[in-house]
Structures are given as C-alpha cells and as structure tokens.
Amino acid sequence: MNKETVEKIKSNPDYQKLVSTRSSFAVKLSIMMLAVYFTFILLIAFDPAVLGTPLSGGSVTTIGIPVGIGIIIFAIILTGIYTKRANGEFDELSNNVKNSIKEI
C-alpha cells in the first residue's frame, strides 16, 4: 500500500470514527473487567475470610467459588457485547472505508 492510499484512509471520516469509537469502547470494557478482577484480587489479599466463608452450615463450597465463576461469566458477557458491536457497527464502518478505497 502506498503512502497516498494510507493518507486517504487516515483522512476518511468513517475510518476516524471507527478508530475513535472502537478504541473508546474497548477501553471502557477493559476498565470494567479490570475493576472486577482487581476487586476480587484485593479482596483475596486483604480479607480472604470473606471469600472463605462456606455457602451453608456444613458446606465445603465457599463464597469464593460462585464469585470466581461470576467473574468468568462476566468476562464472557463482555466478550459477547464487544463481538456483537464489532459485527454490527464496526464492520459497517470498516466496509465503508474499504469501499471508498476501491473507488480510488
């Protein structure tokens, strides 16, 4: 790809919107995941008894197990949200950029 084509892509409004929207969305999802994960880790570090509490009187399973599974499910949900938006809005903007390059 030559410099002229690269500059045309960079100046394309759809490309600029794609980059800014996708980046800000990815940062928001990353912050959400990091907040949940680090809260879990800090809870383990500073108050492990909370997660070590049994679910019921004679149970061997602690609160930490469903909380850990919840974090995994949360990550899967965030991945699904990103994928859904990527397959919709982001693909459309990307295709618009590709089509504008074909016209050159």
What confidence tens digit (pLDDT) does each residue in 10-33 have? 898 999 999 999 999 999 999 999
pLDDT confidence band for 104 (50 / 70 / 90): low
What confidence tens digit (pLDDT) does each residue in 32-85 have? 999 999 999 999 999 999 999 999 888 899 999 999 999 999 999 999 999 999
Please determine, for residue 1, whether its predicted confidence score (pLDDT) is greater than 80: no
Residues 62, 52: contact at Cβ < 8 Å?
A: yes
- Provide the pLDDT for residue 7: 87
Q: How far apart are CA 33 and CA 35, in angstroms?
A: 5
| Cα dihedral sign, 24-26-32-34 | negative
Q: What angle do CA 8, 82, 73 make, to 5 degrees?
A: 160
What pTM does this model have?
Answer: 0.83
